[in-house]
Structure 1
Amino acid sequence: MSAFDIRTAASVPRAELLRFAGAVENASEHAVARAIADLAIAETGRPADVEDFRALSGLGARGRVAGRDVLIGSVRLLAAEGMNVPPELAAVRAEWEHVGRTSVLVAVDGAVRGMIAVADTVRPSAAAAVAELHELGLRTVLLTGTTPPRGPSPRRSASARSSPK
């Protein structure tokens, strides 16, 4: 899992969004959270301390960073909290999801400040591993809990390089 892109709402600096998101996600064990925390650490350094951290199963996480309320997760989570995605971010979110990326929204003090695109990363060895399985006569299947992409995906990337005989 890797973070691929970041978009911020008007006048929100990228580093600020990453500091808030990275602090909360660094407290989580989830793979999506780890990808975001790793990007934040790489770009902004050691994450700030988070207080009152809560993982919200299947939705996201929340916590207080530097005295500010941070909520990070799905559109469904933010909508349940009464927040809407700004139109300029909604259009980008649709593009990301069209190509199989997951949009993780970041809200600070009750307002959506930006979002981060994450997706599974294809390992360089994936195509060769799939080809070897096919040569053994095995059929490969990818099971995922995410929405199927309508564009390029890790599955298509790996299987396009090898197909069963």
Structure 2
Amino acid sequence: MSPTIGFRMAQAIGFTGAAWLSGNIAAFSMNAVPSLLRSRKETNLPLTVLAKQWRKMYETGRRQNPPIALVTAAAFVYLAMSSPSSPPLFRAVPFSRVGLYISAAVLTLGIVPFTAIAMGNTNNTLIKVSESRGEGAAVADAEVEGLLLDWVAMNRIRSLFPLVASLIGIATASL
């Protein structure tokens, strides 16, 4: 039995949605924040200004990425529920389509708790710095670059969640 058009559309949404999400998240760590840090050295901007610029990018990602993750994960769940000749979810069968598609969904949504748990303190501190009006700028400047570098490292890890989800989805399609 060949897959339906709905199944193929869910595959396209799941695979490309997860890959796009990974690239979108990674772009902040590979391009945007490192560019901010380089511009500070060239222009001697206070790091509190960089924290404000980081916050604008952070808020943009915070608004757009969770809904994309939700739609992508929903596509993977649909694939799990609709997979032809899939064994039951809790059956002890290694590499079942259902289990792999569910894993892809969980990994895609994993960006949300990772952001809250692993990145929460760094995000909250950077947000506080971005809200300062210059008071305590010497303290902020001493910390902000380190916070931004920590954020870059953690965000790189976070970008791998949907990338792995996309790869799992693609690999599962060939089973």
Higher strand share: 1
Same fold (TM over 0.5): no
TM range (shorter): under 0.3
When normalised by structure 1's length, the TM-score is 0.24
Greater RCO, 1 or 2 (C-alpha within 8 Å, sep 6+): 2
When normalised by structure 2's length, the TM-score is 0.23
Return the index of the structure with the highest Cα Rg. Answer: 2
